[in-house]
Amino acid sequence: MPIEIKNSSSQPLQIDSAGRLLHFLAIEGLDRQRLLQLLDSAAQFISSDTNVRKSQGSLLAGHTVVNLFFEDSTRTRTTFEIAGKRLGASVINLNTSRLSTRKGETVLDTVRTLEAMDADIFVVRDNSSGTAHLIARHVPPHVHIINAGDGRHAHPTQAMLDMFTIRAHKGDISKLRFAIVGDILHSRVARSQIAALQILGAKEIRVVAPATLLPTEIEKLGVTALTDIDKGLEGVDVIMMLRLQLERMEGQLIPSSQEYFRCYGLNQDRLNHAAPDAVVMHPGPMNRGLEIASDVADSDRSLVLSQVTNGIAVRMAIMAELAGMNKEQPS
């Protein structure tokens, strides 16, 4: 299946005529200055011990955040909930199995109903690409939509927390070589990571996967595609592993789980091909013994738990920016 390589239509939806951020739907359509501004804002929510500050007073007091997740989630939904509460917002987690959409109501009517209850920030995840964009086209200017993952299309807040984590541990992204490894074909995370790395000027981006899990024409995104993992990891500074998305696969795209791990799982021997100080990332949930060996996942070169922690700060920064409340925080 070819990867979508057209310019994103997100920009006119995300940015208003005055240049303010209205929605956060995709990395595409945002420029380097905007990404760096959000990353710098997120840093203000991190304390000196690298933990997220417990309270930020009332930056979002009077706002209501609705987590509208039509797909399962642990890290993303929970960090958005924590982020909203630490900013002083009211946060509602809806049980989508009990929503009126199960009775035939459209998602737009559901959102309009919640708007009538003064909800004004919606965090949306769906297994269909474009759901967050659809909602953003039909809400009034005071309502903001955040894409928490839509089908295979995008996961922009994951990409932002990854960029934040890389900057915190490795410094200037423009000086680094990256390898994104795993199920590229089905990964909205990979698409958003590639877009963010391109905008921030990464020195080199490689994507590594079996041929069956590489989208056709992916090189048009400015990456180098490889099927040999040892070559793909040679000398890289950051290894970004991906979850094998068995639930999205149609047909037999890998011989077996054991064979996949043997050929593409990240173990210590393979990690040795990367730069001596290379770090390892994974968006979660990790499948140990399938995508990554436990001794690598739990090593001091793994940033997996830092990604989770930083996700709170990054999502705080994005929500504060949407509400027009981002400002320098006390140290």
Kindly report, residue by residue over 161-179, the tens digit of the pLDDT.
999 999 999 999 999 999 9
**Alpha-carbon gap, residue 159 to 132, rounded angstroms:** 17
d(CA 234, CA 11): 36
On whether both 161 and 26 belong to a single domain, the answer is no
Give the mean model confidence (pLDDT) for residues 14-40: 96
28 confidence band (pLDDT: 50, 70, 90): very high
- Quote the percentage of the chain above a pLDDT of 70: 92
- Please tell me the total count of domains within the chain: 2
Say if residue 249 is in the same domain as residue 318.
no
Helix axes 304-322, 32-43, angle to 10 degrees: 110
Same domain, residue pair 286 and 194: yes
Residues linked to residue 125 through DSSP beta bridges, in sequence order: 69
80 vs 135, 183, 187, 320, CA distance in Å?
19, 25, 21, 12
For the stretch 208-259, pLDDT in tens is: 999 999 999 999 999 999 999 999 999 999 999 999 987 766 667 888 889 9
| CATH number of the domain residue 97 falls in | 3.40.50.1370
Q: Residue 102: its pLDDT value, please? A: 65
29 & 103 share domain: yes
> Which residues are 290's β-sheet partners?
none
Q: Is residue 52 assigned to a domain?
A: yes
CA distance 90 to 63: 6
* Same-domain check for residues 32 and 114: yes
Cβ-count burial of 100 within 10 angstroms (0-12 exposed, 13-18 middle, 19+ buried)? exposed
Contact 319, 146 (CB under 8 A): yes
Q: Is residue 223 part of a domain?
A: yes
Residue located via tokens 């964009």: 133
Helix axis angle, 156-170 to 304-322, nearest 10°: 120
Would you say residue 1 lies in a domain? no
Has residue 195 been placed in a domain? Answer: yes
pLDDT at 6 over 50: no
Q: Which of 16-30, 51-65, 134-148 has the lowest mean pLDDT?
A: 51-65
CA 178 to chain centre: 16
Same domain, 182 and 296: yes
Task: Provide the pLDDT for residue 47.
Answer: 85
Q: Are residues 177 and 98 in the same domain?
A: no
Average pLDDT value for residue range 3-25: 78
Residue ranges making up the domain that contains 254: 156-303
| pLDDT at residue 3 is higher than 60 | no
Q: How far apart are CA 39 and CA 41, in angstroms?
A: 5
Res 250: pLDDT? 67
| Domain identity same for 100 and 205 | no
Q: What is the pLDDT of residue 48?
A: 73
Say whether both 104 and 178 belong to one domain. Answer: no
Q: Does this model's pTM top 0.85?
A: yes
The pLDDT tens digits of the residues spanning 278-330 come to 999 999 999 999 999 999 999 999 999 999 999 999 999 999 999 997 644 44
Pair (317, 217) in one structural domain: no
Q: Give domain status of residue 85, yes or no.
A: yes
Across the range 34-39, mean pLDDT stands at 98
pLDDT at 7 over 70: no
pLDDT of 9 reads 57
Within-domain flag for 2: no
Judge whether 331 lies within some domain.
no
Q: How far apart are CA 218 and CA 203, in angstroms?
A: 18
Asked whether residue 328 is domain-assigned, the answer is no
CA–CA dist 221, 31 (Å, integer): 16
Q: pLDDT tens-digit profile of 44-102?
A: 999 877 788 877 778 999 999 999 999 889 999 999 999 999 999 999 999 777 676 76
pLDDT of amino acid 5: 42
User: Does residue 1 surpass a pLDDT of 60?
Assistant: no
Q: Is the pLDDT of residue 331 over 50?
A: no
Q: Say whether both 186 and 212 belong to one domain.
A: yes
Residue 90 shares a structural domain with residue 180: no
